[in-house]
Amino acid sequence: MESVRYYWHEGEWNVPRILRIIPMPLAQTICQIPIAAGQGDRIVWTKSSTGDFSTKSAWEAIRQASPRRQLLADVWHRSLRPTISVFLWRLFQDRIPVDARMQQKGFSFPSKCQCCEAEETVSHLFIKSAAVQGVWQHFAAIFGLCLCDTGSLTHIVHFWPYSTPFHSDLHIRTLIPFLILWFTWTQWNAAKYRGVPFSTDSIILEVQRHLRTLYAARTLTSTQWKGDLHQAAVMGFIFRQQVPRAPSIVRWQVPSPSWFKLNTDGSSIGNPGLAGAAGIIRDSAGHVHLAYQFTLGTGTSVLAELTVVCRGMELALTHGLAPLVVEVDATTVISLLQSRASGKWEVQHMIMRIVCLQRLLVADVQHVFREANGAADHLAKEAASLQLTRVLHHDDITGSPPRHSLP
């Protein structure tokens, strides 16, 4: 059996050899697969970013995912201890072994709350009991909230986060209800099995102590208190006011004498979506030597950005526009090129080609702010929306029709 390399010649698929064994429709599909020069043949698992098989990617490919629920995403936040996260997940799935729950499973015994004569249920333990109501009212008063006694755990844990327009990463109005629920549970266990008094003050104290621990460890940040910095001060948490950054002037800079500069940009209408890309090459006097636009069909922004860099460097090599500075406003692309990382399997061949062109053009790839990349950005958006594919030289740009088209 021949290897894939046998059907490849000078960087391209050897179509005549392919047609000897495969019919034309299938051969056309094969020829659309890019080749990563310098790498051995290997089987690619398309469901993972690296091309390697993993049970995780296989599971993600076949499972039926439910809609994302922000509440459950917050439960597994990194600033919560795993013990707390597991408890909250079990609580919201009605898996907490309160007396009423155990009776539903067939256990027969009397049920009595640790602070009153009521039956021990999830609703009573975490919402309705006198001791816990005092905890909710204490923290609600600090944040100026008026809690309605609905008896619904779901209602109260949704009410707190949506009482503020700021939805930062685990905002304090999401964190505090979680901590109230957790320390209500720990204090209930202490009362039931160790005889420790179950009281409002003990739960409030534990919540405050935990917040101070997070604050001391610098895992409780001012971002989580956005809109509530006054309440933070009331509770004894002082955060430095962020000094506004002074604005900086951003403009396109000409390259050094005898150098050329390539500015590129890729644009996709949606991600993935209909993609277009463009670039413009100028000299040290700011004169445009050529510009180009092309469409990519449907693809991701990273693929569009890498493709436009590669096309621009190939055009620079063809027209002798070297040495070359390449400016890209996509930090992901810069990281891939500067670290020589392999990236996703779909773009490995593109990265290797760009690295090769860098050596030939003595090219330096740099990051540029989007505000200084306006010309390339405009051309890329125009290419995506109007489906343009063309190369423009200096005389084309000044008014005459374009003379060249990309293959």
State the pLDDT at residue 401: 39
pLDDT tens-digit map of 67-83:
888 888 889 988 899 99
Contacts of 248 (CB under 8 A, 6+ apart): none
Indicate yes or no: pTM above 0.95: no
- The residues facing 210 across adjacent strands are none
pLDDT tens-digit map of 141-197:
999 988 766 567 888 888 898 888 887 778 999 999 999 999 999 999 998 888 888
pLDDT tens-digit map of 123-140:
888 988 889 999 999 999
- Report strand pairing: 273-283 vs 260-270: antiparallel
Which ranges of the chain have pLDDT less than 50?
399-407
* All domains of the chain in start order, with CATH: 4-62 (no CATH), 71-234 (no CATH), 260-397 (3.30.420.10)
Give the separation between CA 300 and CA 92, rounded to whole angstroms. 37
